Structure 1
Amino acid sequence: MTDSDGAGDRAEGESGGSEGGGASGEGGPEDAPELPADRDAVRDALVDWYEVDHRAFPWRRTEDPYEILVSEVMSQQTQLDRVVPAWEDFLDEWPTTADLAAADRADVVAFWSDHSLGYNNRAKYLHEAAGQVEDDHDGTFPEDPDGLSELMGVGPYTANAVASFAFNNGDAVVDTNVKRVLYRAFDVSDDDDAFERVASALMPAGESRVWNNAVMELGGVACGKSPSCDEAGCPWREWCHAYQTGDFTAPDVPEQPSFEGSRRQFRGRIVRLLGERDVISLDTLGHRIRVDYSPDGEHGREWLRGLLSDLADDGLVEVEDSGDETSVRLRG
């Protein structure tokens, strides 16, 4: 899970960062010219730092793959201070995959919208993944990234994270925070393959749970966009290229589009409103979700139908045209 204080760095479909681990070969001088020869010292320093004190996110206190999967899906481009209460409420409502699989999908999607988690198709995929676990795996999660990747909506990054944190069976995670850390600390070139090779070379064998948590904590607490090396007691200061040179530039990362006024925001409003009633007419829906809605205006029927088309493609709504009347409902 992304542990920065801001929104998660993975775009919808997990296209926002390269996937962790799986890279062949050792990270050598050409990949990380500042990587010390004594890698054990680097590893021990980071793990010791993490184990002495780290942020107590509730999903770090569990090895339940379902609970970890929920946290990972929720954290995609959502600020962690909003994820914590949503995660707790979700598990109160549906504490197991069996409970979630048996739930009405409209209720799950409505929960997602009510908690402003964005991209409502994630709720649909999570619901379907729970059904796969129950129906195809007898209620037991696959334990490796390849098996987890077969679950609906679970891309390579999330599969690796769940394998790491639930089963200690993952590869090195490479997200935006990890890239920033490696780029600054060891002068790794801004290249996805190089990041993966160095991350894989650094991770101790069989220690993906503690290592991936620790390196992401470093990126979230000490090596953020504005570094806090001394304040956070960064354990890599003695080796860090950026700390020695004062050059704290970082790889370019696409900015997360603002949620306010975005299509995501209005799609969420549509789903929330439809969750309160069985069916609603097109224009009534438009006026309810946008004060400046005008049927023939810039934000009118054509704009609204575009939003509904996206939601219909995700299997969330049904749009029915009957004569001059268009009605919209949640798909059950």
Structure 2
Amino acid sequence: MTDAEGVPELPADLDAVRGALVDWYEADHRDFPWRRTEDPYEVLVSEVMSQQTQLDRVVPAWEDFLDEWPTTAALAAADRADVVAFWSDHSLGYNNRAKYLHEAAGQVEDDYDGSFPEDPEGLRELMGVGPYTANAVASFAFDNGDAVVDTNVKRVLYRAFDAPDDDDAFGRIASALMPAGESRVWNNAVMELGGVACGKRPRCDEAGCPWREWCHAYQTGDFTAPDVPEQPSFEGSRRQFRGRIVRLLGEHDEMDLDALGHRIRVDYAPEGDHGREWLRGLVDDLADDGLVESDASGDGVVVSLRR
């Protein structure tokens, strides 16, 4: 279902959706050093560097930059040519970002007495700081931001909640999902989901995606997205559904054939194209491989992992 503006109806139990994601993130996530700081300057440097550079490559550049200019005061006092040379030497993309960062440090020192603004609106006054970067710094340094919406987050929302490919819709859905006053952990978590589990080639089961039970793409097998116009070859394949069967049977001692079907795809219909005959073919393949066994009892079929 969708509302009057075409935004899909979100799961009724949003607390469960939120809790599942935060628990997944806090249990294990990529340990980038800027995730261990709440210093707005250090966060800003990481955000500017990350705009055009892979995160693994940003880490040493970020550490070297802060060794050279550890505070806004140090950066503001530096020769701009030295800052630009550092940027170029570390292959961090357009050099004007280095110039803007140097200028922003001067603004913090001269216009804000060395203290950063703490909300997205105030942060946007800094040179070179656009809406996304302002919101990220407000979120990660001050826990005072709005829901972050970047390419990865759009991909997650499009797949998980069947969101329309529309920036306003993405913003409304992201805002509805984020728990009030928890922008730091939430925005880190949803971006981690997009970077680790829901990439262009998703790794739903391998990464233990916490939204599988609600995810439209996971249920239908259609993993296209705004930045993934063609279905990845693995997604929707028999191999993927075989993996789902094995995972589900690992969580349950045994399952009725139809109950299993409804759990692995939302459009399962016993008499339909993706019904009992289709599912029985998958189960038989897994049985031939020695992975599962099935038992016909009465009018039903019960499937379990082979022990």
TM score, norm. by length of structure 1: 0.67
Q: Which amino acid aligns with 1:237?
A: R
Q: Which amino acid aligns with 1:72?
A: E
Is it true that 1:101 corresponds to 2:80 in the alignment?
no
Q: Whole-Å Cα distance in 2 between the matches of residues 231 and 186 of structure 1? A: 20
Given candidates 200, 210, 215, the residue that maps to 1:240 is 215
Given candidates 48, 51, 62, the residue that maps to 1:87 is 62
| Secondary structure in 2 matching 1:101 | helix
Percent identity, please: 90
Residue 43 of structure 1: aligned partner = 18
Q: Which amino acid aligns with 1:101?
A: A
Quote the offset at 1:28 in angstroms. Answer: 4.6
Residue 40 of structure 2: aligned partner = 65
Given candidates 26, 33, 41, the residue that maps to 2:8 is 33
Is it true that 1:144 corresponds to 2:119 in the alignment?
yes
Q: Whole-Å Cα distance in 2 between the matches of residues 30 and 219 of structure 1? A: 25
Given candidates 207, 210, 214, the residue that maps to 2:189 is 214
Residue 98 of structure 2: aligned partner = 123
1:290-329 correspondence to structure 2 within 5 Å: none
Quote the offset at 1:82 in angstroms. Answer: 1.1
Q: Whole-Å Cα distance in 1 between the matches of residues 121 and 228 of structure 2? A: 27
The alignment covers a number of residue pairs equal to 228
Q: Whole-Å Cα distance in 1 between the matches of residues 118 and 217 of structure 2? A: 37
Q: Whole-Å Cα distance in 2 between the matches of residues 123 and 52 of structure 1? A: 35
Q: Whole-Å Cα distance in 2 between the matches of residues 119 and 253 of structure 1? A: 26
Contact 2:3-2:9 within 8 A present in 1 as well: no
Is it true that 1:167 corresponds to 2:142 in the alignment?
yes
Is it true that 1:185 corresponds to 2:160 in the alignment?
yes
Residue 277 of structure 2: aligned partner = none
Q: Which amino acid aligns with 2:161?
A: F
Q: Whole-Å Cα distance in 2 between the matches of residues 91 and 145 of structure 1? A: 23
5+ unaligned residues in a row in structure 2: which ranges? 230-307
Given candidates 223, 236, 240, the residue that maps to 2:198 is 223
Q: Whole-Å Cα distance in 1 between the matches of residues 3 and 104 of structure 2? A: 39
Contact 1:188-1:195 within 8 A present in 2 as well: yes
CA displacement, residues 188-243 of structure 1 (integer Å, 9 cap, x when unaligned): 00000000000000000000000000000000000000000000000000000000
Q: Whole-Å Cα distance in 1 between the matches of residues 86 and 17 of structure 2? A: 43
Q: Which amino acid aligns with 2:164?
A: S
Q: Whole-Å Cα distance in 2 between the matches of residues 194 and 53 of structure 1? A: 30
Root-mean-square deviation (CA, aligned residues, Å) is 1.5
Closer, same or farther: CA 226–49 of 1 in aligned 2, 3 Å: same
Q: Whole-Å Cα distance in 1 between the matches of residues 3 and 178 of structure 2? A: 14
| Secondary structure in 2 matching 1:239 | coil
Q: Which amino acid aligns with 1:84?
A: V
5+ unaligned residues in a row in structure 1: which ranges? 1-26, 255-332
Q: Whole-Å Cα distance in 2 between the matches of residues 129 and 153 of structure 1? A: 7
Quote the offset at 1:35 in angstroms. Answer: 2.1
Q: Whole-Å Cα distance in 2 between the matches of residues 29 and 68 of structure 1? A: 38
| Secondary structure in 2 matching 1:141 | coil
CA displacement, residues 284-332 of structure 1 (integer Å, 9 cap, x when unaligned): xxxxxxxxxxxxxxxxxxxxxxxxxxxxxxxxxxxxxxxxxxxxxxxxx
Structure exhibiting the larger radius of gyration computed from Cα positions: 2
Of structures 1 and 2, the one scoring higher in RCO (CA 8 A, sep 6+) is 1
CA displacement, residues 27-59 of structure 1 (integer Å, 9 cap, x when unaligned): 958544362111111000000000000000000
Residue 323 of structure 1: aligned partner = none
